[in-house]
Amino acid sequence: MVDYRKGPHTVYDIKYHLVWVTKYRYKVLKGDVALRVRDLVRKICERNDVRIIRGHVSQDHVHLFVSAPPQLSVSKLMQYIKGKSSRRLQEEYPSLGKRYWGRHLWARGYFCATSGTVTDEMIEAYLDQHSETPEDTFTVADGAQ
């Protein structure tokens, strides 16, 4: 059965698979930086009533499978996530400034697919392949720690 979410005047089930990469695909999402990315993304999503169903932080990209409210566009969600996380990460980790002197941590653009084009199970199975502990719904890659 579909787990419908409810808003003041809506009942919805809107899910997106989102992927974005670091600029130049530099493998900078390691250790504390990777954990901080996960933390920031969780906080930004929570603030915008976006539920993270599954996620994965790799060394040079991030996967998210989320349920979002209808009033929040995908482009606005990605603007929040990429903008706020980039700014905070570069403030907190000066070493990133040496790699990204132009103040852009993330590459332009992102990938987005609704779960209607691919089933939820297919996306979750794909993300489970990245994870050694399927009970944790938002993981960090082994090489990234």
List, by residue number, the catalytic residues.
126
Going by C-alpha positions, the residue among 62, 61, 51, 60 that lies closest to residue 120 is 51
CB neighbours of residue 15 within 10 Å:
17
* Residue 62 near residue 141 (C-beta atoms within 8 A): no
CB neighbours of residue 51 within 10 Å:
14
Going by C-alpha positions, the residue among 11, 22, 7, 2 that lies closest to residue 115 is 2
With tokens 């790699």, the residue in question is 99
Order of strands, sheet of 111-114, starting from the edge strand that comes earlier in the sequence: 111-114, 15-21, 61-67, 51-57, 138-140
With tokens 């697919």, the residue in question is 113
